[in-house]
Amino acid sequence: QVQLVESGGGLVQAGDSLRLSCAASGRTFSSYVMAWFRQAPGKEREFVAGIRWGAGSAYYTDSVKGRFTISRDNAKNTVYLQMNTLKPEDTAVYYCALDLDGYGTIFVEGTQYDYWGQGTQVTVSS
């Protein structure tokens, strides 16, 4: 059974930084995609960033380009989301997700992902 455990959320002020972590366990990972999604109150879940595990290439939604960086540590089976210059509109519950079957395609649709973490709250005050 695959498990994804997120950490690193919190309350910060606009302009601050946070780093989220998502540790994956439960099986051997080779070719897959991990991604971060977020869901703000009253809004639908949205894709934030994704990374191909093998190649390390990444894709971001436009609103976070230049501010957020997704990365992975192969040895630790962990993916990170470094969030800089945070804005109040970044406030949301952030979820990591794992796609085992997409053959390296970074999907923005959450339905393509097989496993999800429990979520971590990020609150950015103005």
Mean pLDDT of the chain: 93
Q: Average pLDDT, stretch 50-62?
A: 90
**Rounded percentage of the chain residues whose pLDDT exceeds 70:** 96
Query: What is the per-residue pLDDT for 92?
Result: 98
Query: What is the per-residue pLDDT for 1?
Result: 83
pLDDT band (50, 70, 90) for residue 31:
low
Query: What is the per-residue pLDDT for 62?
Result: 98
List phi, psi (to 5°) of 115.
-135, 150
Query: What is the per-residue pLDDT for 29?
Result: 63
